[in-house]
Amino acid sequence: MSVNLRCKLSLLAGLAVLFTCPIALGMGGNSKKLVSTELLESANLKILWDNELPIKKGESLERLVILGERIYALSDRNYMISLDREKGNMISGKSIAPAGLPVGQLELYEDNLISIIGGRLIEIDPQTCTVLGAYYPKFGLVCPAARNSSYSYLAGTDRRLHIYSYDDMVQIFEVAAENNSMITSIIADESFVIFSTDAGNLISITPDKPIKLWQFDVGGCIIGPVERDENSLFFACKDTYIYRVDMIHERKAELVWKYQTNALLDRAPYITQDVVYQYAGDKGLAAVDKENGQLLWQLAEGADLLAEADEKAYVMTKERTLAVMDNHHREKLYSVNFADVSIYVVNTMDSKIYIADESGRIACIEPAEW
């Protein structure tokens, strides 16, 4: 964030000091393991590291987030802990907001974290978890913000996408869908910006002017976020379909496939190299071929993807077990008791599985052959 912006946002000067909690950065190591080594070995898994976070009495771990080479743990009192995700050692810990203030999705852009916290756009130093500054919009924010090297993009309760110069947060212009629908997600690139709406619109505009490049419409509310994989866009819709739409060139996007889940969808899919994973309510977790949109398997008890490796999907189930699915043979191989695991994070970057419980026990496991 520029010096000018930090000066302009002086209303939050000293925020990091005010919110800092002086607790030790050390780890425990004597607590019971989340999953026994013997159980993991039976499923050809191994523990890479396990630790105990310094969660205070009366406080509980609430969320894990993977961003770059770090894993961030957030407590229910908005204390954030940064760990090296390869080794598990704690790097820093600091309160990023008063307890009770809602913390939105964390995103990493270049050297800083951004999030919407209590209706404000907040920028955080990923090294120290220190709040660097904040912007107070005159409207409510309805989805995670996005940015590129020059601009910040904020979607408001006024059903407008507001575009600001990043250096000084001066609004440059604003746009809206022709039907004035609510925006559900934003993707920002150097050459285009894409936003989705609750009326089923996927709209691309130029990043620095209110010029529409293309629009693609579907039959229901698009559930954010829209996931981008190079020139392909994947998203879930309340019309029960998962979509793949490819950007053919700057001025055109077209449907590649759509898969009907026969379920009311309420969350976005996860994308890996070859597979699209979609939670479909009572129907569980579905794995769909990314290339052609054909169903590979559906696990009724599946709740979420944990990680993927060597054509195997590691799935957290509703019964708190780890199910190992074979994507090639389209079958379940085995399962492991994860009864003590209450918090996890979806990892589509590599084969590592990150699990935790509310007391702050956290572990990283991985297939033994890796």
pLDDT tens per residue across span 63-80: 999 999 999 999 999 999
Distances (CA, A) of 206 to 175, 179, 187, 251: 11, 19, 12, 10
For 174-203, write each residue's pLDDT tens digit. Answer: 999 999 999 999 999 999 999 999 999 999
Determine which of 62-66, 132-136, 355-359 has the lowest per-residue pLDDT on average.
Answer: 132-136
128, 112 contact by CB (below 8 A): no
In a domain, residue 334? The reply is no
What pLDDT shows up at residue 158? Answer: 97
Give the separation between CA 252 and CA 316, rounded to whole angstroms: 38
**Quick one: average pLDDT of 338-352?**
96
Give the separation between CA 316 and CA 325, rounded to whole angstroms: 11
What pLDDT shows up at residue 231? Answer: 96
What pLDDT shows up at residue 1? Answer: 45
3-state DSSP assignment of residue 277: strand
Residue 7 has pLDDT above 70, yes or no: no
What pLDDT shows up at residue 8? Answer: 39
In a domain, residue 146? The reply is yes
What pLDDT shows up at residue 16? Answer: 37
In a domain, residue 142? The reply is yes
In a domain, residue 347? The reply is no
For 97-118, write each residue's pLDDT tens digit. Answer: 999 999 999 999 888 999 999 9
Residue 18 has pLDDT above 50, yes or no: no
Give the separation between CA 88 and CA 365, rounded to whole angstroms: 11
What are the tokens at 353?
């599985």
Bridge partners, 117 (sequence order): 103, 120
Q: Which residues contact 58 (CB under 8 A, 6 or more apart)?
A: none
What pLDDT shows up at residue 24? Answer: 36
What pairing do the DSSP bridges indicate for beta strands 312-317 and 161-165?
unpaired
In a domain, residue 338? The reply is no
Determine which of 35-49, 211-225, 336-350 has the lowest per-residue pLDDT on average.
Answer: 35-49
pTM of the model: 0.89
SS3 content of the chain, % helix, strand, coil (to 5): 5, 50, 45
**Quick one: average pLDDT of 110-134?**
92
Residues of the domain holding 240 = 137-268
What are the tokens at 239?
């019309």
Angle in degrees, CA 128, 134, 140, rounded to 5: 130
Residue 3 has pLDDT above 70, yes or no: no
Residue 10 has pLDDT above 70, yes or no: no
What pLDDT shows up at residue 369? Answer: 73
What is the pLDDT confidence band of residue 31, given thresholds at 50, 70 and 90? low
Give the separation between CA 276 and CA 57, rounded to whole angstroms: 40
Using alpha carbons, select from 6, 5, 49 the residue that is nearest to residue 29.
49
Q: How many domains does the chain have?
A: 1
CATH number of the domain to which 230 belongs: 2.40.128.630
What pLDDT shows up at residue 28? Answer: 43
In a domain, residue 189? The reply is yes
In a domain, residue 165? The reply is yes
pLDDT higher for 111 or 322?
322
In a domain, residue 127? The reply is no
pLDDT higher for 38 or 306?
306
